[in-house]
Amino acid sequence: MEQDLTDDQKYSNYCRLVETVQFIEGGGRITEDWMEHHKDVIHEYHDAFPNGFCLLNPEIKEKEFRTLAEQADVLMNSLLTSIHYEKTFKVGHYHLLLKRLQHMLQIVYEYHDDGDELSNFMRNMSLG
């Protein structure tokens, strides 16, 4: 799904990813409302990448990046299956997905070493 997002929306989405990782790693209280909200976030990611993360940034051939993308796809499928059948998801799997996405962003930024590349990558990922 192609989305035209403003720079503010891109930044907000990236911050949400980082804040969620920090919340989980900091032992934040996982409530029913938190779970419901993040089910929606997981569906947002899936809607943004219906064909998976493996198709992102094909110019990057680095094995680590490609492996992270494959792992992100497996985690996303696991989360979606769990939400569909169990009406919940494993926070640990969600955390792993977000960490892989963060790492992918870092690799893209380093790969291009270009100040606009984070913005470009986030646009391509519809995360930013």
Q: Is the pLDDT of residue 61 over 50?
A: yes
Pick from 15, 22, 124, 7: which is nearest to 69 by CA? 124
Q: Is the pLDDT of residue 114 over 60?
A: no
The mean pLDDT value for 57-79 works out to: 95
pLDDT at position 111 is 74
Per-residue pLDDT reduced to its tens digit, 8-26: 777 788 889 999 999 999 9
Mean pLDDT of the chain: 86
The mean pLDDT value for 51-71 works out to: 93
Cα dist from 120 to 3, 16, 58, 83, 89, whole Å: 13, 18, 14, 30, 30
pLDDT at position 13 is 82
Q: At 49, which helix (H) or strand (E)?
A: none
